[in-house]
Structure 1
Amino acid sequence: MPELPEVESLREFLDSHLTGQEIVRVLPLAVSVLKTWAPPLSAIEGTSVTSVGRHGKWLDIGAGGLHLVIHLARAGWLRWLDEIPAAPPRPGKGPLALRTRLASGSGFDLTEAGTAKRLAVHLVRDPAEVPAISRLGPDPLAAEFDRDALAALLAGERRRIKGALRDQSLIAGIGNAYSDEILHAARMSPFKPVGHLGDDEITTLYEVLRTTLGAAVERSRGVAAGRLKAEKKSGLRVHGRTGEPCPVCGDTIREVSFSDSSLQYCPTCQTGGKPLADRRMSRLLK
């Protein structure tokens, strides 16, 4: 799933390629992709792009007083085309979900792999009209997001730290992969209750959160859209690396599986050498 660093890189890429360009056609090709009907997509056609923004993991293309906002979800992606094929695509064929054509002949496709169709496109007059955007917490890389802001967000939290970091209404943009990376760098168990964090641990968490996301943004900056997935994977130290040695201590990276996702961690660095129970396996053994 694209998270804050990858979406920020896509934003920068689109800002340089879209701003000032006229949108000729926005063509949805999957029934599930378009989440709004008024205004119609035709309302943005014939207008020029004035801005490309980001709200957490959402892209926001502004044109003609409207906003085309995009959430790539778990299996979605954006593919830039210097030249859009002349032949119109066939709906329902392959992963193609939406195509946007520009007057210059270039444009971009939105694609989504798999059967769980969660990629979402909204056309609205104000991004806050999208409920998921209106509920977003602060951006963790914003200048005003300091250590005290994080402490205030965590005050009174009863969840485990892994779940809190992934909650978009608490902090916008952090998903499964970067929460694993942040907690590994902070040497914290993903199951540690937020309420058990001391002042020094909150300071460490804040510093690691900012440096981990900031470094990922820098690695992604200037990388072509088609290479961002590979760039993200190459920069991850623990997430998606079950069975590999921890790059810090050499212990074996372990995994806890859930119904639709998994987390990775290092027992030596994060849990005092104790493996966490794999909840999926625990259920099977009962």
Structure 2
Amino acid sequence: MPESPEVQALTEELAERLTGRALAAVDVVEFRSLKTRARPPEGLVGQRVTGAVRHGKHVDVAFDAAHLVVSLGRHGWARWGGAADAGDPQDDAPPTLVVLEFDDGSTLELTDAGDWVSLGCFVVDDPAEVPAVAKLGPDPADPSFSRAQFDAAVSGRRKQVKAVLQDQESLAGIGNAYSDEILFAAKVSPVGHAAALSGDEADRLFDATVGIIGDAMAAQRGVPIAELKAAKVASMRVHGRAGEPCPVCGDTIRDFSFASTTAQYCPTDQTHGELLPLK
């Protein structure tokens, strides 16, 4: 799942390459990806890109008179000119859902690697017309993000801490991978309730949230979008590392079931040795 550091790097590359370019043609390969059926992206043809910004895990490409907001969902991404993603054989490259061609001949393909279509495209006058964007909570990557905002999102919640971190209406931009990394750095159990956090745990969790996301933003900046997936995987200390030794204590990193997916943790550092259930 793309998360804020990768989406930020993607957005910055789009802004750099597309600003000033006019949209010359659109090919919608998968109609289910269009979420504003009355305003298809073909209506943007002839307009110039004026910039691109990120809203949580959404990409907002601004044109002269409208915005193309792309919700990447669980498996969505983008690539240039038909190139396969780094690390993916050409035959296994994610299928293209939408193709955007610009007046300089460059082509941007919006892709989705999942078994179901998670990527969505919205053509709107204001990004806040996209319900998920309108509901976004504060973004830990924002330089103005404060401890007060963090406490308002987390403190007193009768909800598992990992679920709070991934709740886009509480905190924007964090998904399964970075929530694992944040909880590991903070030495906090992913399944403990936010309301039960001690003062020291809350302090560590705030510092880890800002630090992990900030460091990832800096590390991913400038990485070509075709290489961002591999760069994210390589940067993980615990996420996706089940069966490997913990880089801090040497215990074995474990899987556990969370919502509809699998996540990772260190029993020694995070759960006082308790093994979490894996269904």
CA contact (8 A) 2:147 2:206 kept: yes
| Offset of residue 246 of structure 1 | 0.8
- 5+ long unaligned stretches in structure 2: 84-93
Cα distance per residue 1:178-220 (max 9 Å; x no partner):
0000000000000111011123322211111111011111111
For 1:172-211, what aligned pairs fall within 5 Å after superposition? 172-211=172-211
> 1:167: which partner in 2?
167
Cα distance per residue 1:99-120 (max 9 Å; x no partner):
0000000021011123211111
Secondary structure at 1:255 match in 2: strand
> 2:138: which partner in 1?
138
Output the aligned Cα RMSD. Answer: 1.5
Quote the Cα distance in structure 2 between the aligned partners of 1:179 and 1:259. 13
Secondary structure at 2:21 match in 1: coil
Quote the Cα distance in structure 2 between the aligned partners of 1:212 and 1:256. 21
> 2:91: which partner in 1?
none
> 1:16: which partner in 2?
16
Q: Which deviates the most, 189-198 or 230-239?
A: 189-198
Q: Does 1:99 align with 2:99?
A: yes
Say if 1:250 and 1:59 are closer, same or farther in 2 by CA, change over 3 A.
same
Quote the Cα distance in structure 2 between the aligned partners of 1:131 and 1:259. 23
Q: Letter of the aligned partner of 1:145 in structure 2? A: F
Quote the Cα distance in structure 2 between the aligned partners of 1:197 and 1:99. 47
| Offset of residue 262 of structure 1 | 0.7
CA contact (8 A) 1:80 1:109 kept: yes
CA contact (8 A) 1:160 1:190 kept: yes
CA contact (8 A) 2:156 2:196 kept: no
Q: State how many pairs are aligned.
A: 269
Q: Does 1:153 align with 2:153?
A: yes
| Offset of residue 82 of structure 1 | 9.0
For 1:8-87, what aligned pairs fall within 5 Å after superposition? 8-81=8-81
> 2:254: which partner in 1?
254
Quote the Cα distance in structure 2 between the aligned partners of 1:42 and 1:111. 18
> 1:283: which partner in 2?
none
Q: Does 1:267 align with 2:251?
A: no
Quote the Cα distance in structure 2 between the aligned partners of 1:259 and 1:271. 19
Quote the Cα distance in structure 2 between the aligned partners of 1:161 and 1:182. 11
Quote the Cα distance in structure 1 between the aligned partners of 2:146 and 2:202. 11
> 1:4: which partner in 2?
4
Secondary structure at 1:13 match in 2: helix
Cα distance per residue 1:141-167 (max 9 Å; x no partner):
112211122112223311010100000
| Offset of residue 26 of structure 1 | 2.2
> 1:284: which partner in 2?
none
Q: Letter of the aligned partner of 1:196 in structure 2? A: A
Q: Percent identity?
A: 45
Q: Which deviates the most, 143-152 or 226-235?
A: 143-152
| Offset of residue 41 of structure 1 | 2.1
